[in-house]
């Protein structure tokens, strides 16, 4: 087996350390993007109906509550064509089911850990 020269080994180690440092420099940015607190405004719905038509009650509020309680659905926030699954503050979300709301929380992809929810003005 051929031995590697000291110069080549040194360059290899320096290159590896450089990539490692770049990786550590990017970690905080990646963590911020996944766990960033944001405020979004949309309609409180459920994960079963999402942005679709509500059929489990006389109106969207009743349907949303029925889906969450009877079908093991989760509260959701519909913003345009995007549906975010909401975690936490279920009592407050139930009060605003079917209505426009302002939700503040930690956004991770299509999930939001809710810090606060209030009627949208």
The pTM of the full predicted model, rounded to 2 decimals, is: 0.70
pLDDT tier, 55 (very low <50, low <70, confident <90, very high otherwise)? confident
Residues 6 or more apart in contact with residue 121 via CB below 8 angstroms: 102
Domain residue spans of the chain: 1-34, 36-119
CATH topology assigned to domain 36-119: OB fold (Dihydrolipoamide Acetyltransferase, E2P) (2.40.50)
End-to-end CA distance of the chain: 74
The closest alpha carbon to 67, from 103, 83, 106, 37, belongs to 83
pLDDT tens, position by position, 1-45: 566 566 767 777 777 666 666 666 665 655 445 578 999 999 999
Between 46 and 19, residue with greater pLDDT: 46
For CA atoms 89, 95, 96, 101, give the dihedral sign. negative
């Amino acid at each position: 087996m051929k031995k590697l020269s000291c110069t080549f080994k040194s360059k290899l180690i320096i290159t590896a350390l450089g990539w490692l440092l770049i990786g550590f420099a990017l970690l905080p940015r990646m963590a911020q993007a996944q766990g960033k607190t944001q405020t979004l405004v949309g309609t409180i719905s459920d994960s079963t109906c999402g942005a679709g038509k509500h059929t489990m009650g006389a109106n969207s509020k009743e349907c949303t509550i029925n889906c969450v309680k009877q079908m093991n659905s989760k509260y959701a926030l519909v913003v345009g064509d995007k549906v975010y699954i909401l975690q936490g503050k279920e009592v407050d979300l139930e009060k605003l089911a079917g209505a426009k709301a302002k939700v503040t929380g930690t956004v991770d992809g299509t999930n939001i850990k809710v810090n606060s929810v209030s009627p949208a003005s």
